[in-house]
Structures are given as structure tokens and as C-alpha cells.
Chain A
């Protein structure tokens, strides 16, 4: 398959993840959408690494995976703390910082 096939697939998954981030009410659902978007970026990095025969893309993918895992851990910890305090994790109700 040509490089563009992988890139179009990644763009599609990125757009789907963006839709999820924009439309989910639940904070955990928003995190799932972010996971999809980061996943699409990883496909892009690996595809470019393979087609340009450059190892840096694979290294970047390893780093993004590690950072994503840390992000999920801290993000879900924040979600659980918010649930403890507010008894809800619906993003529409979390407007404490609204001016």
C-alpha cells in the first residue's frame, strides 16, 4: 500500500477521535477520544519512519506511547478526584473556572 493510504487512515481515525472529544459529555469518554487521536499520530509516525527508512519515527512513537500512558494515569486520577469532590464527571457541569 502507498504511504498516502496509511496517512488517510490515520487522518480518519484522528477526525473520529476529535469528534469524540467534542461531543462526549463524560470526562472519561473525552479521554478515550484523546487516546484515539494520539493513536492516529502514532500510525503517521511509524508510516513515515518505514517509508523514509528513518529510525527516528519509531523512537518518537515509543516516547509518545510512554507519555500517553503517563497522561492517562494522571488524567484518570484527576477525573476520580473531581468525582470525589463534585459527585459528577460530566464535562458540562464542571464549570468551576468559568468567569
Chain B
């Protein structure tokens, strides 16, 4: 019962916040709505018995990404507060294409049979840690390399010409 209620609350918040992200004229407000959408996604993770991913979602997405985007907007947006048109001329085409993609995915979903939810296993976090240093150790190292490269790339772009 609580899962059904929680799902609907999280789903409504997520969809409303996502719509606000793409429709709000003010880009700064869009970022705040994005933070709401990311927290609602974390709530969906909680409903799926993944509290660790909820914490990661809050720390990295709602904390890190939103902060970086806010900084980028403050550095680039000269017209904060003014009502400039934020959408291009493809609004109708974009809506049609997005609706078509949604209908296509849902048409696949209705063909699939119902899936039963297995009982929650014991210590998910321990299994996750073991998998990260066991079969997924090499990808984990590669992610570390990727983060270093991304850091160097961001530094390279941010350097001044002197």
C-alpha cells in the first residue's frame, strides 16, 4: 500500500518537475525544477529498494550537477530576468516526435508479459561492493580514468590564453 502511494507521489512530482524543466522560460528556474525531478527519481530508487543509489543520486546529481549548472548559467546568461523566448521554432515538431517516441516505447511495453517482483534480498550494499571489486573491477578502474580525463579536459577548456 505504501509502495503504491509512494509511487504515485514520486511519479506525479517527477513528471510535473520534468515538464517544468523543459517548459519554464527562465533557465534558472528550470535548473531548480531539475533538482526536484532528480530528488523524485531518488524517491523512485528508494521504492525499488535501492537506498544506496538514492544517496548517490542526492550527492552527485541533486548536489553536484545542479551546482555546476547553476554556475554555468550565472557565467553565461546575460539576460537573467528578462523575458526572452527560450524555445525555437520546432516546438510542434518536437512535441510530435517526443509523443511518437513515447507511444513507440509503450507499444513495446504492452506486448511484454507481467513480471513478478522477487522478495528483497538481504544485504544489497555488501553485494554491490563485492561486485564492484570482483567482476566489475576493470570497468571501475576505467571510470576512474574517465573522471581524471574529464577533469583534465575541463581544466584545458577553462585555461586562460597567456
Assess the A32–B15 pair: CB atoms within 8 A: no
Q: Which residue of B lies closest to A70 (CB)?
A: B150
Main secondary structure of the interface of A (DSSP, over half): helix
Bound form: Cα–Cα A5–B47 in Å? 12
A-B CB contacts (within 8 Å), total count: 225
In the bound complex, residues from chain A placing their C-beta under 8 Å from that of B86 are 24-26, 29
Assess the A11–B44 pair: CB atoms within 8 A: no
Q: Which residue of A lies closest to B116 (CB)?
A: A51
Bound form: Cα–Cα A2–B151 in Å? 40
In the bound complex, residues from chain A placing their C-beta under 8 Å from that of B143 are 63, 66-67
Bound form: Cα–Cα A71–B153 in Å? 11
Q: Which residue of A lies closest to B157 (CB)?
A: A77
Assess the B146–A67 pair: CB atoms within 8 A: yes
Q: Considering only CB atoms and an 8 Å cut-off, how many residues of chain A contact the other chain? A: 68
Assess the A24–B22 pair: CB atoms within 8 A: yes
In the bound complex, residues from chain A placing their C-beta under 8 Å from that of B3 are 1
Assess the B37–A8 pair: CB atoms within 8 A: no
Assess the B88–A4 pair: CB atoms within 8 A: no
In the bound complex, residues from chain B placing their C-beta under 8 Å from that of A14 are 101-102, 105
Of B95, B98, B115, B131, which contacts A2 at CB under 8 A? Answer: B115
Bound form: Cα–Cα A51–B112 in Å? 14
Main secondary structure of the interface of B (DSSP, over half): helix
Bound form: Cα–Cα A50–B26 in Å? 37
Assess the A83–B75 pair: CB atoms within 8 A: yes
In the bound complex, residues from chain A placing their C-beta under 8 Å from that of B50 are 46, 49-50, 58
Assess the B65–A69 pair: CB atoms within 8 A: yes
In the complex, per-residue mask of A55-68: 1 if CB is within 8 Å of any chain B CB, else 0: 11011011101111
Assess the B76–A32 pair: CB atoms within 8 A: no
Binding site for A on B (CB under 8 A): 3-4, 7, 11, 14-15, 18-19, 21-22, 27, 30-31, 34, 37-38, 41, 44-45, 47-50, 52-53, 56-57, 60-61, 64-65, 68-69, 71-73, 75-77, 85-88, 90-91, 93-95, 97-99, 101-102, 105-106, 109-110, 112, 114-118, 121, 124, 127-128, 131-132, 136, 139, 143, 146-147, 149-151, 153-154, 157-158
Binding site for B on A (CB under 8 A): 1-9, 11-20, 22-26, 28-29, 31-33, 35-36, 39, 42-43, 46-47, 49-53, 55-56, 58-59, 61-63, 65-74, 76-81, 83, 89, 91-92
